[in-house]
Structures are given as C-alpha cells and as structure tokens.
Structure 1
Amino acid sequence: MEERWPALDLASTIRHDGAGGVADDLATVAGLADWLATAHGLPTGAVRADERLRLRITGLRAAVRALFARAVSPGPPSPADAQRLLPHDEALARLNAAAALEPVTPQLHWPAGGAPAAGALPSAATPQDRLVAALARAAITFLTGPERERLRACTAPRCVRYFVKSHGRQEWCKPSCADRARAARHYRRRVSSPG
C-alpha cells in the first residue's frame, strides 16, 4: 500500500490541470469539502467546510509549499511556486502558529496487566483548529523526518507537484509525467537536429 503523508497531500492540491495550466483543488469551499472527504489521517469528522477554513488551509498550504521548496533546494521549486514563495521566516511562523492551535497534553495510560500507551487529554479546540493544527504538525513531522531527504519537485513539463522519491532513478511524480517528459525530450531532439 502507498504511504500517505497529509502534508504532501495538502501540497498536492495545487496540480497540473491536464490542459496546460494549474488547478487548485481548494479554490472553492466545495473543493475543500471534497478534499476533506478523502483526507487520510486527519481529524475531519466534525469539520464543516466554510470560507474561513478554506482560507486558513490555503494559507497553511502556502507555508508548506514554501518549506518544501526549501527542502528540495538546491533543486528548483515547483514551477507553481517559483515566483510567489513566502519568505522562509513567514512560512515557519505560519506553520508553527497553526501547529500551536491545539494544545496537546500527553498522558500515559497503563492498564493492569497491559502495556503502557500514550494518549492525550481531550482538547477544547474547535474541530477546525484541530484540523489545521493536525495538518501543520503533519508538515513538521514530514519536514523533520527521513522523507524530507527524498522530497523532489517534479520536473515534467507543466507539472507542479512535489513527490517523495521511492527509488534511485525516479525523476517524476507519476508515470504520466514521465511520459510527458520523454515526449518533450524527443520533440526537442527532432526540432534541433538537422533534417
């Protein structure tokens, strides 16, 4: 089964639209609701999508994509971000502020005859705050974990996704991007070679 990273899923809501442009899956409240319905590993159960939440999540996404661009450096950032990256300090501040929205108090649970387990005290944070905080914490976990070293910006023409490199020779986020890159390379060779 493919590993899921909520931070990468959030960054991937900016994508190639299949027609030469860029699509934003979170451009509308309906798009946010659709994305939340398929979000994995996030506390989305009691969350109601609205414009305020959409703006909070797209603001967090801008911070995540700016930090992803820094993580893939010295390689190029995604073309969708290259001209409009948040400054590094602003991206860090936005991510850390979002992560702090839900205070977490760890608790140890150790039933008689059982193994100890970690838990957390229930929080008074709203469902929306819990979701935004969970997304920010997922980004922090991703950026401080081993996946960061394998993070890449797809180099296929018109692609704007980030991906985690799963094998040594992988250059693109998915097979269709590999096909598009090979076709573009073939076209450039045909055009530049004397006929």
Structure 2
Amino acid sequence: MEEIVAADITQAALPPAPGADRHASLDFADTTATLPGDQSYDLLAAPDSAMHWLATHALTPPDVRLYEVCAQRMRTLRGHIRALFAARVAGTTPPEQSLRAVNKALTAVPTAPLLAWDGPQGPRRVHAHPTDQAVNHALATLAADSADLITGPDADLLAVCGSAPCDRFLLRTHGRRHWCSTRCGDRARAARAYARRSGTSA
C-alpha cells in the first residue's frame, strides 16, 4: 500500500467523521485511513504533523516540540484505541494488550485541570504540568475520552465506515448512515449503482 507523502497529507486527508466534534479520541483514531487506489495516509507519521494535530485539538500548547519517540507513542496508543473501537463495533473482546495500554495511559498522569488561585485572576482551572509531560497528558486525555465513548451513551452509535476500503470510525447520526464523509458516501452509491447495472446486463 502506498502511503501519501507528508506534503500531500493535508490535501488527501478526509474531513472529520461524524462524531469527531464530540470525541477527540474518534478523530485521533481516524488520523490514519485507507484510501481507494491502494493508498493511505497518517497524520501522525512525523513529529511535526503529530505536534500540529495535538495543538489544533488544544491538547498541547502550540510551542511544545515533539520528537519521533513521542510521535511513535501516539501512533501506538492510536492502534490500541482503534482495536478497542473495532471490538466494540463487532461485539467482540478486544486484545488484552490494548486494554492494558489504554489503562496505562489513563493512570500515567492526572487528566483533570488543577485548581489555581491568585489575586488578580481569582480561582481558575489550569493544566499545570511540565512541558516534557505534555504528551503524557494529551495521551491520558485521549485514553479517557476513548473509554468514555465506548462505555457511554454514544457507544451504540459507533461504526466503521461502510465504504470500502475506508477504515475510519464514525458515530451514526442519520439513521443507518455508515459513511465517514461525503466522498465515501458518493463512492458507495456509485459502487451500488455499478453493481445494479452489471447485474441487469448480466
């Protein structure tokens, strides 16, 4: 499978799937996707793109610098979250290692903002942690969101895009819709129309 090079990733990436605005972990799981024509993309493939994804989702300050080891940790956790989502959709038991990985991320650092109080600003909530732990906090937040998704009221809406070869996740928001994007929906409809024509002509 051909992976799209970094310069083309932004153009190739599909828009956020339904539900991504409610669950950052859903958008995180969808940072990789399989496309038609034996292609794929990965928004976490390089430290710069991974840093951009975290910053645009307000999970780290924009000035945090990521290294490859951090990007690799993000990709690893993403794989485990995708395994949990896939198991929830299929109604099967997920790999034990994926459960352990998400639980480890959950307990690595506190995810709740701390309470700070000072004269000029009064009480406020802050994410007080060293810069070198920013990725730990981001991963803990994503792990917590994924656990909330698969155990909460949206769990039964979780689905995999029904337009092969796309393998992104989404929340079904319109009846039985199983497409993660308009592009995938158009492709699925075109494939069905072709199949009907082929069947008629046959």
Q: TM-score, normalised by structure 1?
A: 0.77
TM-fit CA distance, 1:123:
5.0
Taking structure 1 as reference, are residues 121 and 183 closer, same or farther at Cα in structure 2, changes over 3 Å only? closer
2:149 partner letter: F
Q: Return the offset for 1:191.
A: 2.1
| Counterpart AA for 1:155 | G
Say which structure is richer in helix: 2
Q: Contact 2:77/2:102 (CA < 8 Å) preserved in 1? A: yes
Structure 2: which 5+ runs fail to align?
1-18, 117-122
Report the Cα offset of residue 18 of structure 1.
Answer: 5.8
- Counterpart among 41, 57, 65 of residue 74 in structure 2: 57
Query: What secondary structure sits across from 1:23 in the alignment?
Result: strand
Q: How many residues align?
A: 177
Partner of 2:45: 27
The amino acid of 2:139's aligned partner reads V
Match of 1:15 in 2: 33
Measured at CA, do residues 186 and 74 of structure 1 come closer, stay the same or move farther in structure 2, by a change above 3 Å? Answer: farther
Which residue is equivalent to 2:172? 165
- The whole-number CA distance in structure 2 between the counterparts of 1:104 and 1:23 is 29
TM-score (norm 2): 0.74
Aligned to 2:54: 36
Q: For residues 143-193 of structure 1, give each alpha carbon's deviation from its aligned partner in whole angstroms, at most 9, with x where no partner exists.
A: 221111100001102211100111213121122111100101111222233
- Superposed CA RMSD in Å reads 3.0
- Counterpart CA distance in 1 for 2:32 and 2:149 is 18
Once residues 107 and 52 of structure 1 are traced to their aligned partners in structure 2, the CA distance between those partners, rounded to angstroms, is: 27
The share of aligned pairs that are identical, in percent, is: 33
Asked whether 1:184 is paired with 2:191, we answer yes
- Greater alpha carbon shift after TM alignment, 143-152 vs 89-98: 143-152
Matches of 1:107 and 1:54, distance apart in 2: 26
Structure 1 residue 52 displacement after superposition:
1.0
> Compared with structure 1, are the counterparts of its residues 11 and 107 closer, same or farther at alpha carbon in structure 2 (3 Å cutoff)?
closer
